[in-house]
Chains A and B, each alone.
Chain A
Amino acid sequence: MDSAAASAIPRGQVDLVDFVDWSGVECLNQSTSHSLTNALKQGYRDDVGLHLESDADEQLLIYIPFTQVIKLHSVVIKGPEEEGPKTVKLFTNKEHMGFSNVSDFPSSDSIALSPDNLKGKPVNLKYVKFQNVRSLTIFIEDNQGGNDVSKVQKIVLYGTTVDTTNMKDLKKIEEH
């Protein structure tokens, strides 16, 4: 995929930022001046000056509930080369996780981000595991450079909503 395609929305998917339930969004260990909205919200996430930063150490735990059930197809996580995330684990439908129970159950998917991904290349997930997602927990375990602080420029989630899925769309996804 060239870089132009990297920023294009995968076929049949929508940007799920419209379905995020902002009242329940939480992020543990974020620095107060660099919060999750900088990476997630429309407008903020495209602003190069605004990013999400971790506080006490390099791990981040992001909890994103959705207003309706969705299927998650892929994610884009952009960040700087050194402090951008490396190992990212995704958990579905687990409310209020803490750093102590990230290892209690297996993640729905675990991705290792490459520098390409950090530039904007989407990571395709194990789609079967993300069929019925009410809430998503993103656990950023460490960063590329092994620094004390992790920085995330942008997080974009691509997928479809369950309600609006119709047969036509399903077909398109299967072709993908």
Chain B
Amino acid sequence: MVLEATMICIDNSEWMRNGDYSPTRLQAQVDAVNLICGAKTQSNPENTVGILTMAGKGVRVLVAPTSDLGKILACMHGLELGGEMNMTSGIQVAQLALKHRQNKKQQQRIIVFTGGPVKYDKKVLVAIGRKLKKNSVALDIVNFGEADNAKPEKLEAFRAAVNNNDSSHIVHVPPGPNALSDVLISTPIFTGDGDGGSGFAAAAAAASGMSGFDFGVDPNVDPELALALRISMEEERARQEAAAKKDAEDAAKQEKEGEQASSSRDVTMADPASGSAHQVSEKKNELMDDETALLQQALAMSMDDTRSSGLAMGDANMSDTTSDGQELAFALQMPVQENAKDSSNQSEMNRVLGDQSYVSSILNSLPGVDPNDPSVKELLASLERDSEQKNKEDKPDDSGDN
């Protein structure tokens, strides 16, 4: 809820024709600017936002700081590309525009989009930065587009010179499928130093298709919808993770074959104790190696590789969220799914493993797996042995519990 006047400096240089951010870099910028304006005005109705362009014939102020969102959106139509970005003049003009703001109680902030190359020296930038700091103007830098070697560090030095009490930020956005605005939503540029903008950010995130706070739906208001959204999101995530894992494993699969038998047992035992799969930072390294080993086994299995020997059958019980064969295959390939409960899982697993028919039905549904394959039969036999072992282990546990 900080009362702020913001000047946004848009880069409309020739480099913005590039399509590595869809549809064009300029359009990506304009979308991001729209979102920022909305966030600022929503976090405090007295906030004002102004826009200027840095390239083209020269620095041009499109709209002076105003709280009228319509005016801001309208002025960004028909922006012309051309020329080179003149960042120093742009920032100076922005500073001037902020100096003459109507409400002097507003904090001053400049947001710069640097898409083209930065031809200035670090020294020049630092000098400008100190001047901004002296006049208590905060600066946010969005670094995207052209990425030459010196650009990020120049901009970092620039931000460090302006920074006063962490009020200035820099964001580097690499080209990719995610839109510029989506990446910016989660940054402090949007969330306004922690407070205020988070409500808008969540709404914007929900609107753009990502799940934010409460999946964009309040569970109190509509619990079924919230639940349905959450389940479908988990399914989607599982699908994506499995696809990503598959890509990642192809290279290293060969080396891991030998460790599979022991590691599968380790992983299935460790399953109940651990949390979700892909948050690698939460797992110990040992477990991560086991997971990848496990995945490789599964991959090898599905590719009808005769050298594989262990399969993560413990994953079978994880398939409760999916129903069709394809889903099952992916779920099996994943070592751990979220919400692994403790002892109940273990006994469930044993039951599942012990159920020969269930196991063979799963194997049948796996693409490329021939149940009559000798290695598969061997595997089944070994699993039965495993489940027997686990039963034996369970019994002492149970007796211990009693």
Contact present for B134 and A96 (CB under 8 Å): no
- Counting CB contacts under 8 A, is B165 at the interface? yes
With A55-B164, A98-B99, A100-B99: A29-B134 Cβ-Cβ less than 8 Å: yes
Query: CA A99 – CA B165 in complex, angstroms?
Result: 21
Contact present for A32 and B134 (CB under 8 Å): no
- Tell me which residues from 319 to 377 in chain B have a Cβ below 8 Å from any Cβ of chain A: none
Contact present for A57 and B164 (CB under 8 Å): no
With A56-B130, A57-B130, A98-B99: A32-B164 Cβ-Cβ less than 8 Å: yes
- Tell me which residues from 49 to 65 in chain A have a Cβ below 8 Å from any Cβ of chain B: 55-57, 59
**In the complex, what's the smallest C-beta–C-beta distance from A19 to chain B, in angstroms?**
21
Q: List 19 A-B contacts (CB under 8 A).
A: A28-B134, A28-B135, A28-B136, A29-B133, A29-B134, A29-B135, A32-B164, A55-B133, A56-B130, A56-B131, A56-B133, A56-B134, A57-B130, A57-B134, A59-B134, A96-B104, A98-B135, A99-B134, A100-B99
Query: CA A56 – CA B134 in complex, angstroms?
Result: 6
For residue B164, which residue of chain A has the nearest CB? A32
Query: CA A96 – CA B103 in complex, angstroms?
Result: 11
| Closest A-B pairs by Cβ, 5 of them | A56-B130, A56-B134, A29-B134, A96-B104, A56-B133
Contact present for B164 and A99 (CB under 8 Å): no
**A98 cross-chain contacts in B, Cβ below 8 A:** 99, 135
Interface digits, A17-58 against B, CB 8 Å rule (1 contact, 0 not)?
A: 000000000001100100000000000000000000001110
Residues on B facing A (Cβ under 8 Å): 99, 104, 130-131, 133-136, 164-165
**In the complex, what's the smallest C-beta–C-beta distance from B314 to chain A, in angstroms?**
55
Choose among B104, B133, B134 the residue with the greatest number of A CB atoms under 10 Å from its CB.
B134
- Counting CB contacts under 8 A, is A95 at the interface? yes
**B134 cross-chain contacts in A, Cβ below 8 A:** 28-29, 55-57, 59, 99
Interface digits, A79-119 against B, CB 8 Å rule (1 contact, 0 not)?
A: 00000000000000001101110000000000000000000
With A32-B165, A55-B164, A100-B99: A95-B135 Cβ-Cβ less than 8 Å: no
**A59 cross-chain contacts in B, Cβ below 8 A:** 134
Given contacts A28-B136, A32-B164, A57-B130, 14 further A-B pairs with CB under 8 A are A28-B134, A28-B135, A29-B133, A29-B134, A55-B133, A55-B164, A56-B130, A56-B131, A56-B133, A56-B134, A59-B134, A96-B104, A98-B135, A99-B135
Choose among A56, A95, A96 the residue with the greatest number of B CB atoms under 10 Å from its CB.
A56
For residue A26, which residue of chain B has the nearest CB? B136
Give chain A's interface secondary structure class: loop
For residue A100, which residue of chain B has the nearest CB? B99
For residue A32, which residue of chain B has the nearest CB? B165
**B165 cross-chain contacts in A, Cβ below 8 A:** 32
For residue A31, which residue of chain B has the nearest CB? B164
| Interface residue total, chain A, C-beta cutoff 8 A | 12
Query: CA A166 – CA B136 in complex, angstroms?
Result: 42
Residues on A facing B (Cβ under 8 Å): 28-29, 32, 55-57, 59, 95-96, 98-100
**A56 cross-chain contacts in B, Cβ below 8 A:** 130-131, 133-134
**In the complex, what's the smallest C-beta–C-beta distance from B2 to chain A, in angstroms?**
16
For residue B96, which residue of chain A has the nearest CB? A100
For residue B132, which residue of chain A has the nearest CB? A56
**A29 cross-chain contacts in B, Cβ below 8 A:** 133-136
**A95 cross-chain contacts in B, Cβ below 8 A:** 104
**In the complex, what's the smallest C-beta–C-beta distance from B91 to chain A, in angstroms?**
14
**In the complex, what's the smallest C-beta–C-beta distance from B96 to chain A, in angstroms?**
9
**In the complex, what's the smallest C-beta–C-beta distance from A102 to chain B, in angstroms?**
12
Query: CA A92 – CA B334 in complex, angstroms?
Result: 73
For residue A95, which residue of chain B has the nearest CB? B104
**In the complex, what's the smallest C-beta–C-beta distance from A128 to chain B, in angstroms?**
29
Query: CA A47 – CA B197 in complex, angstroms?
Result: 39
**B130 cross-chain contacts in A, Cβ below 8 A:** 56-57
**B99 cross-chain contacts in A, Cβ below 8 A:** 98, 100
Query: CA A56 – CA B133 in complex, angstroms?
Result: 7
**In the complex, what's the smallest C-beta–C-beta distance from B166 to chain A, in angstroms?**
10
**B135 cross-chain contacts in A, Cβ below 8 A:** 28-29, 98-99
Query: CA A57 – CA B99 in complex, angstroms?
Result: 20
**A99 cross-chain contacts in B, Cβ below 8 A:** 134-135
**In the complex, what's the smallest C-beta–C-beta distance from A15 to chain B, in angstroms?**
28
**In the complex, what's the smallest C-beta–C-beta distance from A65 to chain B, in angstroms?**
12
**B136 cross-chain contacts in A, Cβ below 8 A:** 28-29
Query: CA A56 – CA B104 in complex, angstroms?
Result: 22
Query: CA A100 – CA B99 in complex, angstroms?
Result: 10
For residue A59, which residue of chain B has the nearest CB? B134
**A57 cross-chain contacts in B, Cβ below 8 A:** 130, 134
**In the complex, what's the smallest C-beta–C-beta distance from B101 to chain A, in angstroms?**
10
**B164 cross-chain contacts in A, Cβ below 8 A:** 32, 55
**In the complex, what's the smallest C-beta–C-beta distance from B77 to chain A, in angstroms?**
34
